[in-house]
Amino acid sequence: MTARELAKSLHGKKSGHRWQCRCPAGMHKHGDRSRSLSVWESDDGWVCLKCFAGCSRDEILSAMGLRVRDLALNGFTRNPEWEHRRRDQDRLALVEKRNGLAIMMQAVEPGKIRYWAAVERNSLAEIVELRTRMFPDEAANIRRNETAQHLLKEYGIEELWTLLPESLFTLPHNLSR
């Protein structure tokens, strides 16, 4: 379905590269009188929807009897990598909420502080694992920083300084005066 077809079904009007339509979602109890829904086609082959009254894409699609795959211009093909990443994002959001709840419950239920501390530790471990999988470059930077901090703590800055090669301290010939 194209943006034009979708906009025509919603009695939309063309406004530049976009269509301004009446939002079909249930939030508008007496109908959308101000054409708060914007519809357009993105460069990556999708029909995009934005309701400026605050309706979500899922609410709009549900009111129209459509699914997300119906917004694909070039046909919908499943992308397992994208779906896996989406599941990881959803899981991360859920685990972060659980971690916040565990922190809060330690203060609220002092009799069960050990239980909630264990929940917090487990959720933190899961957060680290998910973030490592989702953001491998960031995880590598964190590991490098931890290694550097460990070396500084174990050997001290003076000893590590003496291990650096002399070539780091000399300027190239074209930069020396």
Express each pLDDT in 28-86 by its tens digit.
Answer: 655 667 888 999 988 878 889 999 888 888 888 988 898 888 888 777 666 678 788 88
Write down the pTM of the prediction.
0.45
pLDDT at residue 140 tops 70: yes
Task: Determine the Cα–Cα distance for residues 168 and 151; give it in Å rounded to an integer.
Answer: 19
